Chains A and B, each alone.
Chain A
Amino acid sequence: MITGDPTKPLIVQSDRSLLLDVHNPEADAARVDISPFTELEKSPEHMHTYRLTPLSIWNAASAGWNENRIEKALSKWSRFPVPENVSYEIGDLISRFGKISLHETDEDLVLFLKVDDPNLRSELYSSRKIVKLLDHTDGGFLINLIDRGHIKQELMNIGYPVRDEAPLVKGDPLEFNLREMTLGGYPFHLRDYQEEAARIFHGNGNPGSGFGTVVLPCGSGKTIIGMAIMKLLATNTLILSTNVAAVHQWIDELLDKTTLTREEIGEYSGTRKEIKPVTIGTYQVLTWRPDKEAAFPHFSIFRKRNWGLIIYDEVHLLPAPVFRITAEIQAVRRLGLTATLIREDGKEGEVFSLVGPKRYDVPWKELEAKGWIAEAYCHEIRVDLAESLQVKYAIAAKRHKHRIASENPLKIPIAKQLTENHREDAILVIGQYLNQLKEIADTLKAPLITGKTPNQKREDLYQAFREGRERILVVSKVANFAIDLPDASVAIQVSGTFGSRQEEAQRLGRILRPKKRNSYFYSLVTRYTVEELFAANRQKFLTEQGYKYYIESWNEQSNY
């Protein structure tokens, strides 16, 4: 009888997924070995799922991995023999890397797409999507620089990665250093995983490096990684983020932790239009246009300076119009930062082919175990729908049911009870519906921050929260993205959009920054309504990140 070796932690399945038994003593060592050529799909409590994807294998190939090395790593850790079809597919995929490569020419705006295999050349030339972009020449094709990203994307789609050896523009230089002591008076140094992420992205400047995405949990210091990369590249940098608060956060961090001066940093937002060696703007401004047919006037920001690096903060939210311009600026180094791979519109592939493949990630629980992010406890509290709303809910159209369930007034006393249970904690109450949030804010006698709150007032309240002068903040969707509240240790989610996993991750991220106390994430859900179904999606996501998820029923006698 063929027996498996229980001392080995990995199970390789025939669909190219890899199951890692985390209770096995060798699990960590195996993870280190397989990470370069796999993608982490999910990491619930007992078994983590990795996957060999074309992208992950090509990634590895671009970093110098070959078929034998991958096979060796798999065989070393695999509990059972590696399925033959998997070995074959690895070989097949790896063999495609390098068949097409991109090189510079004497002309600045033209690149050479080298394709040695004549059959492959014919295949490419017969592709309707790119044929117009290809100009036959010896050994391959000439392409316009502006089509670089588009062609790479299309070739990836038909199964041929491009080894991009065309040099990226250096950009205008900008030298600076990271401080050893922040302006705030605290010692500062990079954490091991931050250094590693920056180093992997930079790749010593070799061809095929300098573009990609770093995926790390909220609170793990992605901004720091961005800064580390900026320092390594020492070049003019354009940073795009989700909102003005996030922009200000970047500015504050840059000033606090680097030797950059305020004069070297520009803000490009609704209120200011500064172009400096480091410029931080919002996606919102970028994608503004006077009407649907007009051009995007602020796209010119990409050409205002000789940028050497573009950072897309929260890259999973990259708006669709920005894809197009991203395709055109493939000659510039670009870094995507995010906590979640998932886009609800399913366009992750486009993001990763235009911004770059995932270069680095770490399971959340691993960072938690090392103390880099806080340990979080997730609770879902279910409450009955108020009797007064039952008939209204029953007869409501499907699209309105969610709102009725979400705005269940019986959630308010629960929220109040929870804030009383956490008297020592800084608390965020997060929701979607402004009326409900207003009522909660009034009940808790806490300030409310919404999209309409003026930026300055918002900043003041954040500051007050940081300093402990405000213990509770009630916030709308604005809190989802990129605001830095290091001392929040409790989040109470009273409502959310339809099961958005991305949103769940962002909200959890609000309380994950390391602190002295544990963090608590409460989600209030109305029982026997559509809210339960959507809550199930969110629950799935969090458990797949490795968080334990407790569900309780609220009744009058509930003791919290």
Chain B
Amino acid sequence: MNSLDTWRKIILTLPDHAFFRIVRNYLGTIRTPFHKPSLIQDLIVFLRKRDTIEQIFRRIDEADAQILTAIQVIPSPVPEKLAFVLNLPFLKIHHYLLNLEERLLIYTDPQSGILFINPLYEEELKDRVFALQLLFPSEPFLEEPPGDSPWLTSSLLIAVLSLLFACPEVSSGGTKFKKKVASLWEKRIPLLFKEEKSGKNNDLKVINRSERLLRTLEILGLVIWEDTFCRPVLSGWTKLSECPDREIPLRLWGAWAVSSINGPLSGNGKDTSLKTAHLFASLLHPFLEIVPEGRVFSRQSLITLLKALSPSQNPLDSESCSNLLNALTELSVLLPVQNERSPAKLQEIFSLREKSYKRYFRKSEKSLVASFCSEGLVLSRWFSGLKEAGSEREGVLQPNFEVALMPWTPLRKGVFIALVADLFKFDLYPHFELNRSSCFRTFDEGYDTEGILKALEELTGNPPPQNIRFSIGHWEGEYKSVQLNAGIVLSVSDNRRPFLEHSKEFQPWIKQHLAKGVYLLDPADIHNWSKALADAGIDPLPKVHGLVYTTAISIGENTSDHTDIPETPSFTPLSLKKLNISGLKTNYILPPPSNIEDLFNTLKGLSLPDDQRKELKARIQRKIILFPEQITAGQVVHEKIEARGLDYSGKVRLIDEALASGHDLLELEFRGADGDKTSFLIKPTTLEKEGTNRILHGTRFPEGNDGTYKVRKLTAVRKLHISLYYP
């Protein structure tokens, strides 16, 4: 369907009262009999005239442009979301939206409440009006960008994992690092220990980021704490490495943003943290795609962006957004910069006439300059990672048992290296060393020599050198020469042994045949092998020596309850919401002046009753009168939608009308004790009489809380539609 047909369909959905009001306003008197499709056609012809388009567009000021851009950019925009993202009172947004509807720039789907741009004007709006600067202001950063790059990467993770495999006992109590371990980590991964200025005298202090990093990993389910041991959950790492490469740092950064509390996670705290981390990660993906390199954004600008991206059912408030920005700064994903600009230069870059920019910064021009200059954030130019053009190689294995990984080595392969080799030093190309103990722990995880060699060859593209092949094989031999098994040892005397050897029911439950008449059994299967033994005539069973019985274990009880194996975390796909920014330009251009002054002059020259003059003036101000021809006496129907001050009966009448319509809203205005005015919207439910007072009951819109209001106390009452497109 083309835009014309779409628009035709939309205008047909307008309730009659709104439709005819619009037609009269733009086309003048409607002659009867009329034909609605013809009226629509006439309206379309009018709206598509070049002059009409020109006057419509010249009346789009920055505030309008900002809201229109927001509607275009934010997926499924509803008024509440716009108010939230733009940090404006809902009432204000509501007025703006009603005005944009009557100016035929937008329309509302009455079923979903979602706002849409008029398809007739969408392309022209893209060319002339929509501008990302209106929503997320930024300016070019012309200095040499700082060299810092995001430090929490898959590459670092691999290094940390290796350290945890080699030495999981990191704490002396709680989650605080042992001094010796901290020294080792500092030596191997100096990056985790950052010097920062702190305190009154700006003394340099070394901040240990490792503890918070472990918490981050705990949130993601990648490590668990067992007393002083922080143990990797290998299955979790495998799961994480199955996520798309691009998403992995986002998940880490999201979890880092949540990681600021102390103490191990447990219960609901764990779930909540993971959910929040997931939410942050989902936001970061489109966020980092939208924020271009080489531009400085204010914090507020980025908070607006995050709010625009946050889900409607669980929006991020300003504080959460701010925390996320802090985390991104800690991670060197965003870098604070000084961006000195003279006021004259800023004037050139931004239009400072409009209040919209002042909303982001401070109220005065001077402080506007100061605050923007001092609070800029720029995206780290390294944030996308490093990649050697055309390179397939992901690691180098040297005959001296050293393995060097590339910065782009996928996590999946890196996890294996972390297991099979000890971290030597973390850097751009981290270095690891294969050794006997690292290979032993790899054998513990079920790998054999062939598996290790295959994985190494896959990583490096070359078969491992002979001395390494030999050494790993040799170590495997050593490993297998000693075995430790957990279980219950059953020993039977020679005279009863034949009963077991010939028992088909018992054979499957033998974990290992240790010696003649000696079998290793799994305690978890006690139910099954006990039965098999009973069938073989070995019944009742004696007590297991050395085992502490916490519950009675008897035949028939299923005790296969393993609680010591950590749960494998799952990584649900990130719900990647995108903003519709394709094709949008960055900078806003002020439109040329419109003919509004001429219209006021025309109106001045006409002889009209006061109420009509007032109505026409309001329409000019509301920008729905585009040409002098629309200023025609007799066409104006003044509908009273506001009652103020002592007009008690007027207020009551409006309330009754709103109640009768079933859809209309009421804007109530109060004057507080301090003399300040407060206004808000309600959906009226009832108007009751209480003595001489009328008591209005209604529900705050859109918040939903019920309220009761004395009509006498209201300074003003205004009747408003929810939308022109609601019946």
Contact = CB atoms under 8 A, between A and B. Distances in A.
Interface of A: 1-6, 11-15, 17, 19, 42, 44-47, 79-81, 83-84, 380, 382, 527-528, 539-540, 543-544, 547-553
Interface string B368-388: 000000000000011011111
A4 B427 contact: no
B147 A44 contact: no
B388 A6 contact: yes
Interface in B465-521: 465-467, 470-471, 474, 478
Interface centre among A11, A544, A547, A553 (most CB of B within 10 A): A11
Given A2-B384, A5-B389, A83-B147, 9 more contacts: A1-B385, A2-B385, A2-B386, A3-B388, A4-B391, A13-B427, A44-B398, A544-B400, A549-B465
5 contacts: A2-B385, A14-B190, A44-B400, A83-B147, A539-B400
Contact of B470 (A17, A540, A552): A552
A281 B560 CA distance: 80
B387 A47 contact: no
A483 to B, nearest CB: 29
B460 to A, nearest CB: 9
B185 to A, nearest CB: 15
Interface residues of B, number: 32
B467 A2 contact: no
A45 B465 contact: yes
Contacts of A551: 466-467, 470-471, 474
B7 interface: no
B400 A42 contact: yes
Contacts of B199: none
A42 B433 CA distance: 15
A527 B190 CA distance: 38
B467 A380 contact: yes
A552 B467 CA distance: 8
B141 interface: no
Interface string B381-413: 110111111110000111111101000000000
A543 B389 CA distance: 30
Given A2-B381, A14-B427, A548-B465, A540 B396 contact: no
Contact of A550 (B428, B429, B466): B466
A543 B427 contact: no
Interface in B223-258: none
B425 interface: yes
Nearest to A46: B396
Contacts of A2: 381-382, 384-387
A80 B478 CA distance: 42
A52 to B, nearest CB: 13
Contacts of A11: 428-429
Contacts of B400: 42, 44, 539-540, 543-544
Contacts of A15: 190, 425, 427
A80 B467 contact: no
B191 to A, nearest CB: 8
A447 B487 CA distance: 61
Give the secondary structure class of A's interface: mixed
A19 B386 CA distance: 17
B137 to A, nearest CB: 26
B429 A549 contact: no
B646 to A, nearest CB: 69
A6 B399 contact: no
Contacts of B427: 13-15, 17
B391 A6 contact: yes
Interface centre among B382, B404, B427, B474 (most CB of A within 10 A): B427
B477 to A, nearest CB: 9
Interface centre among A2, A15, A84 (most CB of B within 10 A): A2
A83 B402 CA distance: 23
B387 A46 contact: no
Contact of A539 (B190, B386, B387, B467): B467
A81 B396 contact: no
| Top 5 closest pairs, chain A to chain B, by CB | A543-B399, A543-B400, A1-B384, A4-B388, A13-B427
A46 B387 CA distance: 20
Nearest to A545: B400
A277 B10 CA distance: 110
A46 B391 contact: no
A3 B465 contact: no
A45 B398 contact: yes
Nearest to B401: A540
Nearest to A87: B147
Contacts of B466: 548-551
A15 B381 CA distance: 22
A3 B389 contact: yes
A209 B127 CA distance: 71
A156 to B, nearest CB: 23
B478 A6 contact: no
Interface string B174-196: 00000000000000001100000
Given A80-B386, A80-B428, A47 B467 contact: no
A47 B396 contact: yes
Contacts of A543: 398-401, 467
Given A13-B429, A14-B428, A549-B467, A4 B402 contact: no
B147 A19 contact: no
Contact of A44 (B384, B386, B399): B399
A44 B147 CA distance: 31
B387 A3 contact: yes
B307 to A, nearest CB: 28
Contacts of B397: 46
B595 to A, nearest CB: 50
A19 B395 CA distance: 13
Contacts of B385: 1-2
B718 to A, nearest CB: 54
Contacts of A547: 399
A549 B399 CA distance: 8
A553 B401 CA distance: 19
B399 A4 contact: no
Nearest to B398: A44
A80 B404 CA distance: 16
B102 to A, nearest CB: 47
A12 B147 CA distance: 15
A3 B147 contact: no
A81 B145 CA distance: 13
A19 B407 CA distance: 14
Contacts of B425: 15
B232 to A, nearest CB: 26
A382 B474 CA distance: 10
Interface in B143-179: 147
B64 to A, nearest CB: 38
Contacts of B467: 380, 539, 543, 548-551
Contacts of A81: 147
B425 to A, nearest CB: 7
A42 B404 CA distance: 14
Contacts of A83: 147, 428
Contacts of B471: 551
Contacts of B401: 540, 543
Contact of A4 (B190, B191, B387, B404): B387
Nearest to B148: A84
Interface in B181-226: 190-191
A84 B149 CA distance: 11
A489 to B, nearest CB: 22
Contact of B399 (A12, A13, A17, A45): A45
Interface string B286-318: 000000000000000000000000000000000
Contacts of B390: 6
Contact of B389 (A6, A380, A544): A6
B31 to A, nearest CB: 65
Contacts of A17: 427
Nearest to A551: B470
B475 to A, nearest CB: 10
Nearest to B469: A551
Interface centre among B147, B382, B428, B466 (most CB of A within 10 A): B428
